[in-house]
Each structure stands twice: as structure tokens, then as C-alpha cells.
Chains A and B, each alone.
Chain A
Amino acid sequence: MGFRHKDIIALKDLTKEEIQLLLDTADSLNEINQRDIKKVPTLRGKTVINLFYEASTRTRTSFEIAAKRLSADTVNITASTSSVVKGETLSDTALNILAMKPDIIVMRHAVSGAHEYLAKRVSCSVINAGDGAHEHPSQGLLDMLTMRQKFGRLDGLKVAIVGDITHSRVARSNIYGLTTMGSQVFLAGPPTMMPIGIERLGNVTVCKDMREAVDQADVVMMLRIQLERQGKTLVPSMREYSRYFGLNPDMLSLAKKDAMVMHPGPINRGVELSSSVADCDQSYILQQVENGVAVRMSMLYHVCGGEPVE
């Protein structure tokens, strides 16, 4: 069994075996992050370019740390401080970067499908660090790894995803990944934030009431209301949103006793997640961040290729 993709653009494109391989590798690589000397020479001499067209702290830092722990050289390009503001197109930017012979481009872009466009035009590997409302594969993988660490499996888990599904690439990657791995996904959110026909993606159930989704769930994944974007126009008020689709201790008590609370961050405390839930024992939010580094190391390693040794 192997990993034969040059790029990782979407979890939709990956088979169960490939996701399993990425998660197993991440599980093993976690050990490196616990060492005193957190570095292995695996990607020595490889160049990783982090090309970020959208603001990000967590994902960019996590990818950078992951690359550095594998001994790759990293360069960060943030669109707001690059020639993108002078009007350069994505294709031109990519070709100019390519002329400097990178091995991997890790990109975040506001437009869905930007990575597919890029991957067709460059010879190096492309890893999607989030594209528009399409996918965020590294987040999906680290979420699945965190769940698998706790339950030892993904098959048969009931996972509730609550919030703005329409604009959430995190939700989409989790839906594709989790359904591939045999979990059951229940979605809840205001009707204005629920894409029509999403239940056709597979083992996905849309719930009108959040309680229905959370009932007996193994995992409750809360999404961030994107206050800087659509959040304000799609719901009457934050208070109303929080009342119907926020996770508080009462709501959480409907889920299984040992249910996990997850959130891709950053949290709007008091909106989608009450502070007491965000900081409770059932919250795995920081575990998610920790696993993020290992998952991204695994992704970087697998797109770089390699073959079994005798």
C-alpha cells in the first residue's frame, strides 16, 4: 500500500487506505514532538514555501514547525506583503516561485479550487492549507487523528458538526474524511448556513434542531461563526445564534458521557462555545492543535515520496 499523490488538495480525493496511512504516520511522528531534540533529517535539502493569501496563525505556524522538524527549509510568503498587492496573478506568482525550485508549496487561498488550478501548472507538490469554502484537509486529518486517539477507531462514531456549514471548509473536509472512514455525521445550523443537498454527500444527516445532532454523539464539533464575514448577515443576532446553536453544559449533557468537544479555532467565547465548555475536561481543542503538527509532518513526508527499505 502506498501514497501516490503528488498533491493533497482534498480529502474527497483520498481513499480509506490513504487516510489511514496518513493518520498512522502522524501517530508515529507524534513521538518526535515529545523529544528533547525535535528534529529528524528526513526532508533535508527540500524547500517548502508557505504561500498564504488569507490570514492564519495556527495553520501557517503549524505547517512551518512541521516542515522544520523534518529538516526542510521553509519560506513564508504572506499575500499582503508580497507583489500580489501590486496586481500579480496567482499563475504568475506560482511560476515565479517555481523558478526558485521549491519542492512543496503549502497554500491558503480565499477562492475554492485555487489549488487545483495551481497544481496543474506547477511541477512541485501542492498542499492545500484551506481554499475558500471548499476544503481544509490538514484540519480534517488532525480532527480525525484526535478522535481516533480517544476512541481507537473512526468506524461507527456519531459526530455532530454544528454551525455555519455553508462557509466552512473544515466541515467539508471532515464530512468527506469521516464518511470515508465509516463515521456517521450529523449537521446542525441555521437554515441560512446549511447548504442545500449536503445530505447527498453520503452518511450525512441534516438536523433542524441542534439537540437532535448532539443526542448520544461521540464527538461534538463546533464551528466558528465567521464574524468578519457572513456571520452578521445570515443570523438575526449573535445572542439568538448562541441560544439555538451554541454549546453550553446543558446541551453537552445530551451527548454521550465521554463525548469529545472539538473546535478548529479560533473560538468566539460565549458565541458558539460557552467558556465553561471550552475549558472543560471533555474539550480536546488544544489536543487538536498538538496533533496538527504531526499530521502536517505526515502530509509533507508523504507528498515527498519514498520507498520501502529492506
Chain B
Amino acid sequence: MAENTVILDGTGVKRALTRIAHEVLEKNKGVEGLVLVGIRTGGVYLAQELAARLNEIEGVEVPVGAVDITMYRDDIKGHAEHLPVGKTDLPFSVEGKRVVLVDDVLFTGRTIRAAMDAIFDQGRPATIQLAVLVDRGHRDLPIRADFVGRNVPTSRSENIMVAFDAKNQPTEVILQK
């Protein structure tokens, strides 16, 4: 039977995002040239949350884009189930920008590799930094996050879920055993 443990509740998620927002500002010394790019779908909602916080702190609208990594995956094979391909929507040029890539859960790192390829297909950013709500370990690739909401040690068989409400606000992070 699946057993669920709540790792972060709504307040916890909000605090983590607020801290990440401050860390992003500290590391980049402001919002100059900064853009947020969320990975569909969870990462996009979190990027929007992060942008709202940056606006509260600095009073500047940081542009938010979305990448869909389906077409950049390294595991297309067989005739198995298919997810519909989402839209990549970068309403700005990434050329020379400081890109903060946002995802909900960092696991093998393959998604991040794919997202970086997707971004590089559209231009050459100055830097790419990575912000995730949860880092659960088990990396297959040499990738690390610059900003982490919570480190959660897991086994590979467990599952981490970030839940969102109808308004796409993150409500909680759950560990499924």
C-alpha cells in the first residue's frame, strides 16, 4: 500500500520559495538581465510564484518563460504510452540573459539536461542557474541545483509529488512510499 508523508505543507512551500527568491537576488546582485524559465508543468507554476516574490522584494517584473522538454528527451523508444507535447513558450530572447531554470523535483538530472538543450536551441544565455523545490538525490548526470527548497533523502522506488491547487498555487510536497 502507498504510504504518504507530507514533507512540506503550504506554509513550508511558501517559506522555501521566499528564501529562494532572496538567494537568487543575492547571488545575481539584483534582477539585471534575469529571466525565469519553468519546466512544464510544475516548474512553470513555481517560476510564476518566484517571479511574484521577486516583484514584492524588488518591485521589478522578471520575465517568466516555459520550456517543454518532451522533444529533447533521451528515452524515446518502443511504442509505449505517449504524453501530449506541451508548448515551449519563451516570450523573450535568452541571448546574454541570466537564466534561472525552475523545476519542482530534481531527481536523475536528465530533465535538466534536456531543458538546457532546449534553451540553447534558442540562443546563448550568459549563465544558467537551477532552482528546485525538492532535491531527492540519485543523480545520473553531473548536475546540481544552485537553489534548493528542501533536500529529501529517498530511495529510487519512492515517489515525490508536488501538489498544486486549482489556481496553480503549490499546496504541499508529498513523499509516496
Contact = CB atoms under 8 A, between A and B. Distances in A.
Q: Say whether A and B bind each other.
A: yes
A31 B76 contact: no
A24 interface: yes
A293 B84 CA distance: 17
B124 to A, nearest CB: 11
A36 interface: yes
Given A31-B89, A40-B71, A40-B72, A305 B121 contact: no
B48 interface: no
A304 B73 CA distance: 13
A31 B68 CA distance: 11
Contacts of B89: 31
B120 to A, nearest CB: 9
Given A28-B87, A37-B122, A307 B71 contact: no
Nearest to B122: A35
A41 B82 contact: no
Contacts of B87: 27-28, 31
Given A29-B85, A36-B122, A305 B75 contact: no
Nearest to B87: A28
A305 B77 CA distance: 5
Interface in B69-92: 69-73, 75-89
B107 interface: yes
Interface string A57-73: 00000000000001000
Given A32-B71, A35-B122, A41-B117, A308 B76 contact: no
Contact of B72 (A28, A42, A305): A42
A104 B81 CA distance: 19
B84 A306 contact: no
Contacts of B123: 36
B82 A21 contact: yes
B38 to A, nearest CB: 16
B82 A306 contact: yes
B111 interface: yes
A6 B79 CA distance: 7
Contacts of B81: 1-2, 307-308
A152 to B, nearest CB: 16
A28 B121 CA distance: 16
A241 interface: no
Interface of A is mostly: loop
A28 B85 contact: yes
A134 interface: no
A27 B88 CA distance: 11
Interface string B90-133: 00000000000000010100110000011001110000000000
Contact of B88 (A21, A31, A39): A31
A116 B82 CA distance: 24
B76 A28 contact: no
Interface in B22-49: none
Nearest to B160: A310
Contacts of B79: 4-6, 305
A40 to B, nearest CB: 4
Contacts of B88: 28, 31-32
Q: Which residue among A5, A31, A70, A307 has the maximum number of chain B CB atoms within 10 Å of its CB?
A: A307
Contacts of A29: 71, 85
A306 B121 contact: no
A213 to B, nearest CB: 34
Contact of A28 (B68, B117, B118): B68
A97 B85 CA distance: 31
7 contacts: A2-B81, A6-B79, A31-B87, A43-B76, A301-B85, A306-B70, A307-B82
Given A25-B84, A308-B82, 11 more contacts: A1-B82, A6-B79, A21-B82, A21-B84, A31-B87, A41-B117, A42-B73, A305-B80, A306-B73, A306-B76, A309-B73
Interface of A: 1-6, 21, 24-25, 27-29, 31-32, 35-37, 39-43, 70, 298, 301-302, 304-310
Interface of B: 68-73, 75-89, 105, 107, 110-111, 117-118, 121-123
